[in-house]
Structure formats: C-alpha cells, structure tokens
Amino acid sequence: MKFGVVTFPGSNCDQDMIDALRYDLNQEVINLWHKEKDLSMFSTQDCILIPGGFSYGDHLRCGAIAKFSPIMQSVVEFANKGGRVIGVCNGFQILCEAGLLPGVLLRNQNQQFICKNVFLKSENTTTSLTKDVTGRPLMIPIAHGEGRYYADDATVEELFKNNQVIFRYCDEFGNIIEQANPNGALRNIAGISNKGKNVFGMMPHPERAASSILGNTDGQLIFQSLINNN
C-alpha cells in the first residue's frame, strides 16, 4: 500500500503526515505538489492524504480555493474509482468543499482557535479506517478554528443511517457527552466518510499522535487499521 501526501501553499502538517507514515509506520510515501495531475502511480488499493494547515491562507473560507488546485480534479477521479482518500483538519474542509464529503466545517462555537488533546471513539465497523479501533477512546490532538461539523438534519440522519459517521468526540471513558465536544459539532461528529466508505474526513490529527517520542501512539492505531483492512 502506497500513500500520497498532497502539499498546498499553506499546508503545514504535510511533513508531520509523511514522517508518521514513513518512519513510525514504515510505509511507502510519495509527496505530491498541488500543481501535479498525474496519480497513475497509485492503484485503488493505495491512499491519498490531504493534510492540515491553512491552504491558500484560508482565504474566502477554509478549503474553498484548494478545491480548484490541479491535483484535486485527479483526487476526485481517484476517489470516484474507489481509491482511498483521507482529509485531516484542513484536508477535511477541502474534501467537503470539493463535494467528496457532505456538510461543512464552521467556526468553533467559542469563536476561538483550539489546540489541545481530545478523546474520540468510533462505533463504526464498516470502514477500513475504523474497523480495528471501534469501541475504545483514542486521545488525538486537535488544532483548528473552524472545526464545527454542520449539515442539515436530513443529511445528518442519513450519515448515521448509512454508518458514515466514523468518529465522535467523547470523554476519556468513551462517553459521548456534550462536555466532551470541543467545538460544538453536531452530535459530537469528529469525522465522516462518503457512502462508498473510501473517502474519509476527520478534524483531529492522528499524525500528531503516532510517535512514542511524543508520548502518544493512538494515532498509529487509526492508520494501522486502514493498512490492515486494505
């Protein structure tokens, strides 16, 4: 399994992602510049990652300009063929703007940038990203100002009905409660997938919790689940 990590002007978590995959998980990683279009070196068994940061300075709104980068047309085509795509933080915002995932990410409820460890858990056994981590709380950092997931009621109901909610904010014991929701996201949603279960978006940063040097390897478990269930 190969991973491609896209760098946009303003990306600042691309190297974190590359290091986590290459050195902590011993995976083959190819760095992709946003002006590239050729993804022919990747099969549908591989994965393209859209990292966090401030693509194009978050002008207009987060991800709104990045969706027009040349590589995103290729990423959309790759996803439509069944290839795996993961967007983390700003990457999640970009995937929503590009129409690969439903909903939007709004300003945090407290109108402030939040950077801290949070807990999240999955109850979803239907996706490769979550299959091996269901039922247990994971401590994963967040760092965002616009991470409050929002969609209309019908869309949210459909997400739950189709098992497209992949992560929800919880407390350290795994309780999904309002007090554990850092940004006001609807129903504590921290991550979702598309209907095909091959495109994933999440606000927390698993690549920042993938090294024993950092004192936290919970993020490794998420990537390892994807690799194990390829």
Q: Which active-site residues does the annotation give?
A: 89, 205, 207
H-helix or E-strand spanning residue 83? none
H-helix or E-strand spanning residue 90? helix 90-97
Q: Report which residue type is found at 207.
A: E
CB 84, CB 198: distance < 8 Å: yes
CB 108, CB 149: distance < 8 Å: no
Instruction: Work out the number of other CB atoms within 10 angstroms of the CB of residue 229.
Output: 12
How far, in Å, CA of 221 to CA of 25, rounded? 10
> What's the half-sphere exposure (Cβ side, CA atoms, 13 Å) at 167?
32
Q: In terms of DSSP bridges, do strands 47-50 and 2-7 run parallel, antiparallel, or are they unpaired?
A: parallel
Tell me phi and psi for residue 36, to 5 degrees: -75, 150
Tracing tokens 């969706």 back to the chain, one arrives at 67
H-helix or E-strand spanning residue 165? strand 165-170
